[in-house]
Amino acid sequence: MPARHGVSNLGLALIAVLIAVAAVLTWSPIQRPAAEQAVLSFLEDVHAGDVDAALERIADAPAGPFLTPEALNADWEIVEVAQVGYEHGEDGTGTARVYAEIRAGDDTRLAHRYEVVFESGEPRITDRLTGGQSYSGGIVEVNDVLGPAQEVYLLPGVYHFYGSTQPAIDMNMPSMLVLGDRFVELGGEHATGRPVAPRPELTAESEAAFTEALHEYLDACAVTREHCSFGHVPSEHPFVEADPSEPWRIIEYPKVMLEGWLLAGGLRLRTVEPGVVEFDAVPEDSGGDAEPVALTCPLWAENLILAVDWETGDFAIEQEIVGSNTCHWLTG
């Protein structure tokens, strides 16, 4: 029978097929929402080492020494990417939330929910990259790339810290899996919002060399007392040096440990047990005729740093704030 209204049975069948195909394509899992696809493509770009392409998908992407292919480690995989929310703004913009999960080679997992906005119809990830200032300062090594520790912006992936730097100092900083603004130690379960700060310790091989350098510095200060961490009597004290040209005597050296970082790349020293320094003094109003007495004061290391040459592994003791410090708490 001829079809009514000029539409053949074959035409109706073709229309039905097209509608069915369109429905399948609309709901097919291979047709990802644009925001979901943006996050997936971002992670794929990072895993492939294409940093430029990855950063183009981020709104207001930062710059940093570790946003390079050399600082990436591909020992991880994408586990899941799925859009989990969408909000349509009154100004016509849209904001989507996309769940992402990755897994390191040792099976450590980390998840994050990305926020994606549409700028002129194009999806852009608005999450700032993990990082910023990781700790007080200094130099950090990320997957064999050295850079300032106050500019640690990291793309997703696995990161090993201080893997090739000189062996004089053990930085005690664990390897981590990074995604979004979250960190988790490899083999761990609890994510944090910033990398673990290093806990520097001298190795057994470098302990003797460090002690020798510290003692040499303090011995020189006992002689010159210029630009040192000790060497001046308080102006209000009733005693003065009997002979300012005479060296002070170090009775006992301080016991110290390494502490945090400085922007210059050195490590602060912290006193575990103060030492003792001694010198001869006379009453200020004696006119120099009185018999000298021995005065002592504690010898601290809080104003000293261990300066590290990251290229050679050499280190030296320096004063953090150049000047000559007054020796308080005199006894004798």
Alpha-helical runs (H) found in 154-258? 204-224
CA–CA separation, 18 and 173 (whole Å)? 59
Per the structure block, which two tokens stand in for 283? 């009453």
**pLDDT over 70 percentage in the chain:** 82
Q: What is the pLDDT of residues 63-85, one digit of tens each?
A: 889 999 999 999 999 999 999 99
Stronger pLDDT, 271 or 147, i.e. the higher one: 271
DSSP state of 242: S
Question: What's the pTM value of the predicted model, to 2 decimals?
Answer: 0.70
Give the up-direction half-sphere exposure of residue 115: CA atoms within 13 A in the CB hemisphere: 9
Q: Are the beta carbons of 67 and 159 closer than 8 angstroms?
A: no
Name the band, by pLDDT with cuts 50, 70 and 90, for residue 13: low
Neighbour count for residue 233 (Cβ, 10 Å): 20
CA distances for 185 relative to 149, 178, 188, 244, 324, angstroms: 19, 9, 5, 56, 43
Helices and strands counted in the chain (H then E): 4, 21
Three-class DSSP category at 43: helix
pLDDT digits (tens, 9 = 90+) for 128-173: 787 755 555 567 889 989 888 777 899 999 999 887 666 678 888 8
Q: pLDDT tens-digit profile of 107-137?
A: 999 999 999 998 778 899 998 787 755 555 5
Tell me phi and psi for residue 25, to 5 degrees: -65, -35
Of the chain, the percentage scoring pLDDT greater than 90 comes to 41
